[in-house]
């Protein structure tokens, strides 16, 4: 016997269906009547308990609708509409000791989410999930942009683009973005990951993907107890790739802000004693080339103050970086500076110049060592006026060390496993108590926590710009940043650390360079959204490229609106954003290794205003391979009837500030 319950998106375009077929639950999805997901499995198998995936009856089914607009404290847009129809199915086993479970579907105009809820009940309390049975039986997938899961570098990988059947790995990370044969775009990810483990997707036959939760070292996927709500399984559906970028489904599926007044969470730009270590000019550890000295810190603070950059991150300030720090994370102290770094002097000097220091806590995967010191470190940071902290988890996956109470190593856990999900939540909540905001590197992937915890501001979780200075790995090819906005970035902001203006540095890293033009580095500030955005290069290099640097100084990091003017995944993308605090718009356009000219109609501008576009374009001879530096800076009057032609060099880009014209810049039409 088959029974069905159907729920539509508010505009009727997306249809999700819950199906109970002889006691076995399935779901399917249609987009404008075309099947997108064929009937697909739901449920769980457990260690030491019967599976929870059959012998069900529906004890109740409830429909609901929701429509509100909420305001982001900071973000890529100010207002977000949260508009969905919900179907909540209550399932109960028909067995002698019946267990209960809810499956909830929320269907939006831009996709859907569904989750399981395991309520408190007699026959299910503590459990170990062996497999989450969720599957996504997709119809014709043409190609997917994917990175493999279970790799040493975790998510710091270059994307592949192939059909699903050609993925030669056990599983791939989400967000997994796909193009369907009929031209539709789909992205599968998750929202509100808490008390659970990270979702990866295992390719099966016939375009089917199965949930593959990252396990604990003993193979168990999730160790839990009722009541438990799983993360939402999300499917974003769009007719153009750009519509994926402006879908806020993942945020909508997170709980509203739990922190109340978060005016202490401040977006902004930062520089740092950072790129110098990546180039090998400085060391993190104490010694003759130590980067984080009091003197050098003051030099960076002076530079930040001179140019009005509000924050400076200082890495290598604390003891523990000796003897291959990546292997000895337990040596890190988060309260003891090196002898040549006077943290009190540095932070008070910074304060006297109106600059804030960003604290740094690299764990190298020794997360218990961090947890033990969290309160003491945050207490110290707060006392010193540090209210943003960058964390790091460098460790060859799976290498999160777990020790017992006697200090014996008991296991090595995956970065995406439940152990680290729980750790991240603990750090976020503890930081919030101290009114500290976070940047995380090598993080658990973003699933939209920033809505609930606006202090969780940005994270890396991708192959960042630092790979362009890696002695060990090849850097990022020109198409990498044209893929990120449609894949990794659907999860949330990225601390890519753009703004390298000295693109070739053979004396430090003969095998590396930035594989893109100077104009493209500027455009990344608009394309790759982050509320905290680094100007990653050395101060002396910015002094050398003063004209280009002006764009980095001008570009905001907090927006009231975002629009995608066009894009093809892996080829190019053009994004415009409106400053949160003014009438200025910023445009960023980037391309892969191919040069191209793109039309940018400025119809989004205010009809009653005259504007000036300050254009930072690839110069006529620019080419990332042979001549990445030429930059043509020009000013042109524009209004909403203007269509700019953006000429992008191979590996190039274009960055534009569009500001209201000053009175003496307004051109009066003749007659």
Active site residues: 466
Going by their DSSP bridges, the two strands 572-579 and 456-459 should be labelled as unpaired
**Per CB under 6 A, does 618 bind ligand NOJ?**
no
Shorter beta-carbon distance to ligand NOJ: residue 315 or 449: 315
Shorter beta-carbon distance to ligand NOJ: residue 15 or 497: 497
Phi, psi (degrees; rounded to nearest 5) at 86? -120, 145
* CB 499 within 8 Å of CB 534: yes
- For residues 348, 349, 355, 356, the Cα torsion angle rounded to the nearest 10 degrees is -40
* CB 104 within 8 Å of CB 117: yes
From residue 463 to residue 492, the character string flagging contacts with ligand NOJ as x (rule: CB under 6 A) and all else as - is ---x--------------------------
Q: Which residues contact 543 (CB under 8 A, 6 or more apart)?
A: none
Minimum CB distance to ligand NOJ, residue 487 (Å): 19
From residue 351 to residue 370, the character string flagging contacts with ligand NOJ as x (rule: CB under 6 A) and all else as - is -----------x--------
- Up-side HSE of residue 241: CA atoms within 13 Å toward CB? 24
CA dist 645 and 599 (Å) reads 5
**Per CB under 6 A, does 179 bind ligand NOJ?**
no
**Per CB under 6 A, does 154 bind ligand NOJ?**
no
- Kind plus residue range of the DSSP H or E element containing 373: helix 367-383
Give the distance between the most distant pair of CA atoms in the chain: 89
Shorter beta-carbon distance to ligand NOJ: residue 8 or 325: 325
* CB 236 within 8 Å of CB 247: yes
Shorter beta-carbon distance to ligand NOJ: residue 392 or 499: 392
Options 39, 75, 224, 392; binder of ligand NOJ; rule CB under 6 A:
392
Minimum CB distance to ligand NOJ, residue 647 (Å): 33
The string of DSSP letters for 312-361 reads EEE-S-BS--TTTGGG-GGG--SS-B-TT--HHHHHHHHHHTT-EEEEEE
Residues 422-441 that bind ligand NOJ (CB under 6 A): 441
H helices of 467-565, in order, are: 480-483, 518-527, 539-544, 546-554
**Per CB under 6 A, does 135 bind ligand NOJ?**
no
Q: How many residues bind ligand NOJ (CB under 6 A)?
A: 8
**Per CB under 6 A, does 315 bind ligand NOJ?**
yes
Shorter beta-carbon distance to ligand NOJ: residue 283 or 632: 283
Token pair 């994370």 is at which residue? 329
**Per CB under 6 A, does 17 bind ligand NOJ?**
no
Instruction: Fill in the DSSP letter of residue 465.
Output: G
Minimum CB distance to ligand NOJ, residue 370 (Å): 12
Shorter beta-carbon distance to ligand NOJ: residue 187 or 465: 465
**Per CB under 6 A, does 496 bind ligand NOJ?**
no
Residues 70-99 that bind ligand NOJ (CB under 6 A): none
**Per CB under 6 A, does 394 bind ligand NOJ?**
yes
**Per CB under 6 A, does 290 bind ligand NOJ?**
no
CA dist 86 and 377 (Å) reads 43
Shorter beta-carbon distance to ligand NOJ: residue 460 or 537: 460
Options 44, 145, 274, 525; binder of ligand NOJ; rule CB under 6 A:
274
Residues contributing to the site for ligand NOJ (CB under 6 A): 274, 315, 362, 392, 394, 441, 460, 466
């Amino acid at each position: 016997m088959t029974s069905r319950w159907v729920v539509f998106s508010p505009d009727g375009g997306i249809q999700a269906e819950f199906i109970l077929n002889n006691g076995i639950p399935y779901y399917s999805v249609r987009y404008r009547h075309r099947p997108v997901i064929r009937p697909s499995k739901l449920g769980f198998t457990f260690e030491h308990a019967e599976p929870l995936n059959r012998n069900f009856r529906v004890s109740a089914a409830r429909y609901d609708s929701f429509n509100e607009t909420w305001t982001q404290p900071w973000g890529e847009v100010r207002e977000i509409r949260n508009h969905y129809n919900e179907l909540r199915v209550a399932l109960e086993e028909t067995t002698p000791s019946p267990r209960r479970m809810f499956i909830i579907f929320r269907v939006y105009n831009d996709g859907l989410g569904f989750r399981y809820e395991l309520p408190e009940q007699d026959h299910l309390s503590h459990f170990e999930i062996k497999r989450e049975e969720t599957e996504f039986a997709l119809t014709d997938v043409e190609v997917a942009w994917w990175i493999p899961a279970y790799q040493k570098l975790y998510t710091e990988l270059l994307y592949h683009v192939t059909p699903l059947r050609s993925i030669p790995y056990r599983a791939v990370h989400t967000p997994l973005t796909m193009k369907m044969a009929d031209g539709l775009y789909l992205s599968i990810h998750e929202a509100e990951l808490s008390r659970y483990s990270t979702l990866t997707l295992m390719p099966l036959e016939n375009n089917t993907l199965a949930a593959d939760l990252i396990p604990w070292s003993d193979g168990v996927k999730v160790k839990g107890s009722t009541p438990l709500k799983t993360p939402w399984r999300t499917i974003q559906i769009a007719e153009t790739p750009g519509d994926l970028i402006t879908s806020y489904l993942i945020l909508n599926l997170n709980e509203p802000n739990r922190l109340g007044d978060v005016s202490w969470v401040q977006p902004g730009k930062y520089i740092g004693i950072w790129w110098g270590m990546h180039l090998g000019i400085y060391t993190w550890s104490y010694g003759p080339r130590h980067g984080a000295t009091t003197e050098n810190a003051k030099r960076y603070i002076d530079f930040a103050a001179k140019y009005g950059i509000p924050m400076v991150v200082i890495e290598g300030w604390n003891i523990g970086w000796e003897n291959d720090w990546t292997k000895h994370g337990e040596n890190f102290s988060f309260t003891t500076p090196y002898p040549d770094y006077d943290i009190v002097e540095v932070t008070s000097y910074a304060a006297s110049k109106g600059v804030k220091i960003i604290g740094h806590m690299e764990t190298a995967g020794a997360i218990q060592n961090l947890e033990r010191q969290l309160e003491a470190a945050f207490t110290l940071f707060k006392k010193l006026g540090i209210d943003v902290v960058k964390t790091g988890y460098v460790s060859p996956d799976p290498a999160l060390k777990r020790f017992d109470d006697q200090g014996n190593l008991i296991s090595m856990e995956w970065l995406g496993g439940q152990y680290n999900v729980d750790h991240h939540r603990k750090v976020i909540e503890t930081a919030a108590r101290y009114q500290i905001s976070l940047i995380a590197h090598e993080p658990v992937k973003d699933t939209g926590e920033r809505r609930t915890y606006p202090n969780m501001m940005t994270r890396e979780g991708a192959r960042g710009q630092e790979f362009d200075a890696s002695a060990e790995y090849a850097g990022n090819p020109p198409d990498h940043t044209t893929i990120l906005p449609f894949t990794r970035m659907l999860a949330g902001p990225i601390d890519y650390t753009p703004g390298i203006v000295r693109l070739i540095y053979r004396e430090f890293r003969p095998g590396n360079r930035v594989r893109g033009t100077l104009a493209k580095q500027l455009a990344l500030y608009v394309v790759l959204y982050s509320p905290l955005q680094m100007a990653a290069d050395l101060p002396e290099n910015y002094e050398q490229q003063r004209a280009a640097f002006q764009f980095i100084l001008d570009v905001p990091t907090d927006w009231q609106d975002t629009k995608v003017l066009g894009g093809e995944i892996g080829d190019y993308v053009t994004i415009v954003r409106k400053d949160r605090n003014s009438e200025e718009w910023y445009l960023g356009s980037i391309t892969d290794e191919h040069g191209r000219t793109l039309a940018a109609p400025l119809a989004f501008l205010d009809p009653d205003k005259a504007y000036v576009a300050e254009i930072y374009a690839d110069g006529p001879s620019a080419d990332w391979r042979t001549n990445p530096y030429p930059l043509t800076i020009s000013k042109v009057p524009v209004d909403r009837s203007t269509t700019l032609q953006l000429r992008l060099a191979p590996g190039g880009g274009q960055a534009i500030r569009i500001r209201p014209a000053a009175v003496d810049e307004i051109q009066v039409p003749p007659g």
